[in-house]
Amino acid sequence: MIKRIAAVLSLLFLPHAAFAAVVSDADIRAILADRIDAQHQGVGIVVGVIDPTGRRVVAYGKTAKDGKPVDANTVFEIGSVTKVFTSLLLADMVNRGEVALTDPVSKFLPPNVKMPERGGKKITLVDLATHTSGLPRLPSNFNPKDPANPYADYTVTQLYEFLATVQLTRDIGSKYEYSNLGGGLLGHALARRAGTDYETLVRTRILQPLAMKSTAITLSKAMKDRLAIGHDAALQPVSNWDLPTLAGAGALRSTANDLLTFVGANLGLQTSPLASSMASMLATRRPTSVPGLDIALGWHISTRNEHEIIWHNGGTGGYRTWIGFDPKSRTGIVVLSNTSTAAGVDDIGAHLLDPAIPLIQPPKQRHEVKIDPAVLDRYAGRYELAPTFVITVTRDGDHVFAQATGQPNFEIFAEDDRNFFYKVVDAQITFVVDATGRATSLVLHQNGANVPGKRIE
């Protein structure tokens, strides 16, 4: 989920002219057809547009390779877009006088749970909602038994154990760093304050008032019948994700029609009991390290020439999602895909709100060569790119695999003795070796970044 935030940032800050109108349905369909049929970067994609004239939906592709066509009521996992709903719960509970933004998170956890502090300062609810708590992307005791469903077995007990032992490496509130852990903890704390579970809280406070009948965590039979099958970057079916403990970070499933209702309510295109809470979400802002990008309560706000786009994206093992709106033109966009590919859908959403923002081009073609298995043996090992992000490299015969923390195990392919590439995502790995040819570190090349990782025993 986190990597989708990083991937879209470069799309939103290119200097160009004023915003144009959303492109036509025919042009949208052409974009989707190219993404699926020509680039092979999707199985099914649904785009929704809403503005003062009404709503429209353009869909292309299928729920599965041999499935039925996707449409406005097809159900998708929406991943981290869930965090916007979690932050709206926070804003609503503030408006009701149930909590304050500055309340410490510890106030809503069991008395025996120790929350990390730094410099005499406690992590507050607003710190979690703005990703400035100092907590990492994922807890260090996050070790899924099933990488295909990585959050399913992470328990509340494990969450509390991590909070009691983690040492913050920077001052609370001092820096934006996107955190799935923080989003999940916020949902957990708010549900405890309300005396219920997260799904019940989001259903009663948001989904029912907005009549979003096809948004849920636990799917009804009717929603199951309309669920698109998730696919990985190789266009192969994958498991759905379950997030019982960190539900507030990414557990919701929804449809284009329901999300258009949600975006429309944020734009004020229909009356809503949540209008004041939605407006207050944008009033609290903190800067990020990216020029022109602020973080509000849940929403990211991109500003160019005093013009704002409000947005969030999401991704699970088999789905990609983007929702956003332009308050000035009162136009909103929803993009849902049942495929987790390098291209994703972030660029489509941004492009439809501002056609001057370019669409992602297909990754360059790379050619595979065969490498001596004895050489491959010297690369097998674990490489730490961050305290909670390790890539494990293994060999099986002539094949090499790389598995990142919390992600599936993917094969990587040699371009030469030291440079390898993924086929499922636009990313490459370079191995750094010593005099004996044994790898001492690697460098992950992705989204324009080159991230080193030291070999660990």
Q: Provide the pLDDT for residue 441.
A: 96
Q: Let me know if residue 367 belongs to a domain.
A: no
Question: 22 falls in which pLDDT band (50, 70, 90)?
Answer: confident
Q: Let me know if residue 359 belongs to a domain.
A: no
Least confident of 159-168, 320-329, 355-364, 365-374: 355-364
Which token pair is 197?
């579970």
The yes-or-no verdict on residue 11 having pLDDT over 90 is no
Least confident of 142-156, 246-260, 422-436: 422-436
Q: Minimal CA–CA distance to 418: which of 375, 377, 368, 356?
A: 375
Residues 6+ apart with CB under 8 A from 404: 389, 390, 391, 392
Q: Are residues 329 and 294 in the same domain?
A: yes
Q: Are residues 413 and 337 in the same domain?
A: no
Q: Let me know if residue 200 belongs to a domain.
A: yes
Q: Minimal CA–CA distance to 178: which of 120, 229, 128, 141?
A: 128
Give Cα separations from 340 to 68, 233, 235 (angstroms): 19, 5, 8
Q: Let me know if residue 358 belongs to a domain.
A: no
Q: Are residues 275 and 382 in the same domain?
A: no
Which token pair is 304?
């160019």
The yes-or-no verdict on residue 7 having pLDDT over 50 is no
Question: 363 falls in which pLDDT band (50, 70, 90)?
Answer: low
Question: 283 falls in which pLDDT band (50, 70, 90)?
Answer: very high
Q: Are residues 292 and 380 in the same domain?
A: no
Average pLDDT, the chain: 92
Q: Minimal CA–CA distance to 7: which of 425, 428, 441, 409?
A: 425
Q: Alpha-carbon torsion 176, 177, 183, 188, what sign?
A: negative
Q: Which of 302, 323, 353 is the last residue of a domain?
A: 353
Q: Are residues 54 and 140 in the same domain?
A: yes
Q: Which of 323, 353, 383 is the last residue of a domain?
A: 353
Q: Are residues 225 and 161 in the same domain?
A: yes
Query: Contact at 8 Å (CB) between 136 and 167?
Result: no
Q: Are residues 309 and 433 in the same domain?
A: no
Q: Let me know if residue 181 belongs to a domain.
A: yes
Read off the pLDDT of each residue in 17-39 and give the average, rounded to a whole number. Answer: 82
Read off the pLDDT of each residue in 113-117 and give the average, rounded to a whole number. Answer: 97
Query: Contact at 8 Å (CB) between 355 and 74?
Result: no
The yes-or-no verdict on residue 32 having pLDDT over 60 is yes
Q: Are residues 386 and 307 in the same domain?
A: no
Q: Are residues 390 and 295 in the same domain?
A: no
The yes-or-no verdict on residue 142 having pLDDT over 50 is yes
pLDDT tens across 390-434, in order? 999 999 988 999 999 878 889 999 999 999 999 877 889 999 999
- CATH number of 330's domain: 3.40.710.10
The DSSP 8-state label assigned to residue 62 in this structure reads B
pLDDT tens across 180-200, in order? 999 999 999 999 999 999 999
Phi/psi at 128 (5° precision): -70, -45
Which token pair is 351?
């492009």
Please state, in angstroms and rounded to a whole number, the distance separating the CA atoms of residues 424 and 3.
15
Q: Minimal CA–CA distance to 259: which of 87, 22, 55, 6?
A: 55
Q: Let me know if residue 85 belongs to a domain.
A: yes
Question: pTM higher than 0.85 for the full model?
Answer: no
- CATH number of 392's domain: 2.40.128.50
What is the span of the domain harbouring residue 443? 373-456
Query: Contact at 8 Å (CB) between 18 and 308?
Result: no
Q: Provide the pLDDT for residue 51.
A: 96
Q: Are residues 245 and 393 in the same domain?
A: no
Query: Contact at 8 Å (CB) between 33 and 60?
Result: yes
Read off the pLDDT of each residue in 333-350 and give the average, rounded to a whole number. Answer: 94
Q: Are residues 69 and 109 in the same domain?
A: yes
Q: What is the DSSP string of 287-338?
A: E-SSTTEEE-SS-EEEEETTEEEEEEEEE-SS-EEEEEEETTTTEEEEEEES
Residue 198, SS3 per DSSP: helix
Please state, in angstroms and rounded to a whole number, the distance separating the CA atoms of residues 231 and 410.
14
Residues 6+ apart with CB under 8 A from 426: 342, 363, 446
**Total count of domains within the chain:** 2
Q: Minimal CA–CA distance to 316: which of 88, 76, 84, 16?
A: 76
Q: Let me know if residue 364 belongs to a domain.
A: no
Q: Provide the pLDDT for residue 56.
A: 97
In the numeric block, the tokens 């933004």 are attached to 101
Q: Let me know if residue 368 belongs to a domain.
A: no
Please state, in angstroms and rounded to a whole number, the distance separating the CA atoms of residues 426 and 351.
20
Least confident of 15-24, 85-94, 269-278, 334-343: 15-24
Q: Provide the pLDDT for residue 17.
A: 35
